[in-house]
Amino acid sequence: MALREILTVPNPVLKQVSTPVAAVDDDLRLLMDDMLETMYAAPGIGLAAIQVGVPKQVIVMDLARQDEPPQPRYFVNPEILWASEETAPYEEGCLSVPEVYDEVDRPARVKLRYLDYHGQEVVEDAEGLFAVCIQHEMDHLKGVLFIDHLSRLKRERAVARVRKLARTG
């Protein structure tokens, strides 16, 4: 396994639309292993492949609390089959927009279909942080960042802050 570099705004690669994966094979599992290690090291609770420069529809996630054993999860070619009309706000962050947090409203519950680490199809309901995180990560697959849900002023301030952070460390 290897750590990969996490791209940050305003890198244009983050705006790319990711393409579906043809097969869940050993090469893809290697990518997912690297992504999980990179996410744990950051640290974060989710990561989309485009954040490490790979435009494939792949997401990793672990929502276990610190006092729980790790619960790594893998989502290949995820689709939202249904989303609730009810929305819920959550203060989101993003490893590609470091040190910026702001509230985003998203559907409170979604039904998902995806392929798991072994290529098995899974249909699952998500709510709470799982619903927030999977929608945030699926936005990455469309080239959308959580700051794209904010006002233009907030978005421009966020990008300026990350640029400054990159300069000053």
The arrangement of strands across the sheet holding 121-127 comes to 46-48, 58-61, 73-83, 109-115, 121-127
Residues 30-49 that bind ligand K1U (CB under 6 A): 43-47
- Spatial distance between the Cα atoms of 36 and 38, rounded to a whole number of angstroms: 5
Contacts (CB under 6 A) with ligand K1U, residues 113-142: 132-133, 136-137
Nearer to ligand K1U, 24 or 35 (CB): 35
The answer to whether 58 and 33 have CB atoms below 8 angstroms apart is no
Stretch that binds Zn ion, among 25-33, 75-83, 89-97, 119-127 (CB under 5 A): 89-97
Q: Has 68 been annotated as catalytic? A: no
**Closer CB to ligand K1U, residue 28 or residue 61?**
61
Among 63, 57, 67, which Cα is nearest to 132's? Answer: 63
Binding site for ligand K1U (CB under 6 A): 43-47, 51, 92-96, 132-133, 136-137
